[in-house]
Amino acid sequence: LPSPASTKSYSLIVCLSPSSSRILLGLKKRGFGTGLYNSFGGKIEQGETPATGAARELEEEAGVRCPVNHMERCRVGDLHFTFADTNNKMLVHLFCVDLDSAEIDASSINWECDEIAPRWFPMSEVPFGNMFADDSVWLPMLLKDASARFSGYFHFQPGGDKVNLVDSYFLDLN
Ligand code: 6OG
């Protein structure tokens, strides 16, 4: 029987600069998703809320500081991931921050982080071919409207050097 303990919670923080029409992505250098670009984030630790975990990961991985009360206002929704080959389920709390906003300090981006290397991309040149497949489904909604609010479910099966997306559905909460 599936174990409820197999669901883990994560944060994922999309970082946009609307003034320059760019997105800050991270090249994953180790762990799950090595070699792929993704937004920043990671496991929510015991005692953390989604927003405190997101603020910590954003500072650790990107060197970007965002106060927790501001992070709470940047919540987009939840992404649920399931995998055909394991019982593992991921509950990903999705945030979208504006790096140009006064609340955020993006003056010392951590270009040399040993886990994930930050890099700017024009919003029109997001490297979807080198990202998890679910990003192609939901990230365009935030590129079009950074204040979009939605949740989604994605089912993956193993294959190739990344996981394959086999099913998804969306709840548009706007
Ligand atoms: P660490 O445990 O490595 O953090 N993540 C995914 N993000 C997307 N867009 N698609 C997926 O498809 C993902 N699987 C995991 C959640 C893992 C980080 O990677 C995200 C966390 O932010 C399967 O520190």
Torsion (CA) 115, 68, 154, 6 in degrees, nearest 10: 80
Residue 41 pLDDT > 90:
yes
Instruction: Report CA Rg, the chain.
Output: 15
Residue identifier of the C-alpha nearest atom 18 of ligand 1: 42
ipTM value, please give it.
0.96
| 94/108 Cα distance (integer angstroms) | 23
Mean pLDDT of the chain: 92
Question: Which contacts of 56-59 are long-range, i.e. CB under 8 A and separated by 24 or more positions?
Answer: 57/11, 57/13, 58/13, 58/15, 58/97
Atom of ligand 1 nearest to the CA of 132: 10
Percentage, residues of the chain above pLDDT 90: 75
Model pLDDT, residue 171: 81
- The encoded tokens of residue 53 equal 């975990």
Within 6 A (CB) of ligand 1 lie: 10-12, 31-33, 38, 41-43, 81, 90, 92, 132, 134-135, 156, 163
Residue 12 pLDDT > 80:
yes
Atom of ligand 1 nearest to the CA of 28: 3
